[in-house]
Amino acid sequence: MSQQNLESLDVGAIREEFPILQREFSGEQLVYLDNAATTQTPDSVVDAMSDYYREYNANVHRGIHHLSQEASIAYEEAHDRVAEFIGASGGREEIVFTKNTTEAENLVGYSWGLNELGPGDEVVLTEMEHHASLVTWQQIGKRTGADVKYIRVTEDGRLDMDHARELITDDTAMVSAVHVSNTLGTVNPVSELVDIAHDRDALAFIDGAQAVPNRPVDVEAIDADFYAFSGHKMAGPTGIGVLYGKEEILESMQPYLYGGDMITKVTFEESTWNELPWKFEAGTPQIAEAVGLVAAIDYLEEIGMERIEAHEEEMARYAYEQLDAEPDVEIYGPEPGSDRGGLVSFNLESVHAHDLASIMNDHAVAIRAGDHCTQPLHDKLGVAASARASFYVYNTKEEIDKLVDAIDDARQLFA
């Protein structure tokens, strides 16, 4: 990304749209650096959802009355808007709303995996998978007899692509990989991985939970068969996630949640399924959340995804450099650059990550400490936990300075 051509963000103006950032704890202003877990929500998203409840709240798909028609149009068109945002030219048929990324992984695990996999088949993951995909495929593997294999992560926190080429064979049925690691920050070469998978006639699922919020994503340029992300990590509401799937593949899959709205004809003996994407959206869906997700996409696109990516890269580089200057801080993942997203995980020697997070909290600095739902990766790193600072459009270098000051404080306390 060439930063010279990009006007940087007006972070001051952006912050005004997030009143939560004005909160203070014991006289110190909140420094929110837990964005990889959940981002904050701008007024425009809260307003869109509140307008929905105040003005056109009703159930969708089945109503004749005005409110239901308005709600249905908003809900159904939200799928088109998401399709456009991630470059899915098939439109709404390729966009299934789920609860979150985790549910999108499970949907494919149950609907595709349980029906398509068997003994002799292999699912190839990476060592940096989030539990959302790791546990899903591990369990689907146990139920079907398929083997699960893991592409190695190198010392410098990248995928070992030679190992990927070795592991992905004619026995591979599915390759599932994170686009951006929520622990290492690595931006993986997902198009290359998808190509390797397709050369072996395997499908590819890309977990974009940490990518879609922060960078332009074009699912067709990546050529992913499935791609998933969550609303709450991209300035949108909780309770809604997205599963993109190529139309012909979704068409061939069985639903895994049954009930209202996902059927066309039901008798006491048999049922037939509704068209895409409704076949995968059983019951009353997340209507207000879909409205909120559209407002979040509008908000992000108005800022510009390239500019968000450049800001994230700048924040990550600054944080990395400040932390790297501390001799007793160990940082995980690649050095700053275009293949590192906007987060930095680290440990301070002799202070447990939880203690560090707790001291940070005393200074109103919100970071995450733990295994970030990547326990096997932490095992490989040889630590039980790490501290993680993750950035979004409203973060500043001054906030990162406060993080570093709090590290000094922790060091003194534990010395």
Residues 232-261, one symbol each (x = binds ligand 7TS by CB under 6 A, - = not), give: ---------x--------------------
- When asked if residue 106 is in the footprint of ligand 7TS (CB under 6 A), the reply is no
Question: Shortest Cβ distance from residue 179 to ligand 7TS (Å)?
Answer: 8
How would you class 27 by CB atoms within 10 Å of its CB: exposed for 0-12, middle for 13-18, buried for 19 or more?
exposed
Task: Return the number of other C-beta atoms located less than 10 Å from residue 370's C-beta.
Answer: 17
| Per-residue tokens: 355 | 């203690």
The residue (of 163 and 372) whose beta carbon lies closer to ligand 7TS is: 372
Question: Shortest Cβ distance from residue 226 to ligand 7TS (Å)?
Answer: 13
| Residue 30 identity | L
The residue (of 71 and 356) whose beta carbon lies closer to ligand 7TS is: 356
Binding ligand 7TS (rule: CB under 6 A), the pick from 35, 40, 41, 101 is: 101
Question: Shortest Cβ distance from residue 117 to ligand 7TS (Å)?
Answer: 21
Instruction: Candidates 20-28, 48-56, 98-106, 296-304: pick the segment binding ligand 7TS (CB under 6 A).
Output: 98-106
Give the position of tokens 């977990």.
Answer: 207
Helical H segments across 145-258, by residue range: 161-167, 190-199, 219-222, 247-252
Task: Return the number of other C-beta atoms located less than 10 Å from residue 200's C-beta.
Answer: 16
Task: Return the number of other C-beta atoms located less than 10 Å from residue 161's C-beta.
Answer: 16
Binding ligand 7TS (rule: CB under 6 A), the pick from 39, 41, 72, 102 is: 102
The residue (of 130 and 340) whose beta carbon lies closer to ligand 7TS is: 130
Helical H segments across 245-330, by residue range: 247-252, 287-303, 305-324
| Residue 274 identity | N
Strand, helix or coil for residue 95: strand
The residue (of 37 and 282) whose beta carbon lies closer to ligand 7TS is: 37
Question: Shortest Cβ distance from residue 413 to ligand 7TS (Å)?
Answer: 26
The residue (of 172 and 214) whose beta carbon lies closer to ligand 7TS is: 214
CA atoms of 402 and 373, how far apart (whole Å): 26
The secondary structure of residue 53, as a DSSP letter, is H
Sheet holding 368-370, edge to edge: 329-332, 343-348, 386-390, 368-370
Instruction: Candidates 118-126, 188-196, 368-376, 378-386: pick the segment binding ligand 7TS (CB under 6 A).
Output: 368-376
Binding ligand 7TS (rule: CB under 6 A), the pick from 6, 46, 282, 373 is: 373
| Residue 76 identity | E
- When asked if residue 309 is in the footprint of ligand 7TS (CB under 6 A), the reply is no
Residue of 135, 249, 257, 373 with catalytic role: 373
Residues 25-64, one symbol each (x = binds ligand 7TS by CB under 6 A, - = not), give: -----------xx---------------------------
Query: In 257-402, at which residue ranges do the beta strands (DSSP E only) sit?
Result: 263-266, 271-273, 329-332, 343-348, 365-366, 368-370, 386-390
- When asked if residue 182 is in the footprint of ligand 7TS (CB under 6 A), the reply is yes
Binding ligand 7TS (rule: CB under 6 A), the pick from 126, 136, 214, 230 is: 230
CA atoms of 361 and 190, how far apart (whole Å): 36
The residue (of 14 and 343) whose beta carbon lies closer to ligand 7TS is: 343
Q: Which residues in the 190-229 window bind ligand 7TS by CB under 6 A?
A: 207, 209-210
Question: Shortest Cβ distance from residue 237 to ligand 7TS (Å)?
Answer: 11
Binding ligand 7TS (rule: CB under 6 A), the pick from 72, 100, 176, 395 is: 100
Nearby residues of 269 by Cβ (< 8 Å), 6 or more positions away: none
| Per-residue tokens: 155 | 């010392």
- When asked if residue 290 is in the footprint of ligand 7TS (CB under 6 A), the reply is no
The residue (of 102 and 286) whose beta carbon lies closer to ligand 7TS is: 102
- When asked if residue 132 is in the footprint of ligand 7TS (CB under 6 A), the reply is yes
| Per-residue tokens: 315 | 């924040």
Question: Shortest Cβ distance from residue 374 to ligand 7TS (Å)?
Answer: 8
Cα Rg of the chain (Å, integer): 22
Query: In 5-63, at which residue ranges do the beta strands (DSSP E only) sit?
Result: 24-25, 28-29, 31-32
Binding ligand 7TS (rule: CB under 6 A), the pick from 14, 178, 242, 262 is: 178
Q: Is 373 a catalytic residue?
A: yes
Contact (Cβ atoms closer than 8 angstroms) between residue 389 and residue 406: no
Question: Shortest Cβ distance from residue 98 to ligand 7TS (Å)?
Answer: 9
CA atoms of 221 and 149, how far apart (whole Å): 26
Give the position of tokens 């950032």.
Answer: 21
Q: Name the residues that contact ligand 7TS, by CB under 6 A.
A: 36-37, 100-102, 130, 132, 178, 182, 207, 209-210, 230, 241, 368, 372-373
Residues that are catalytic: 373
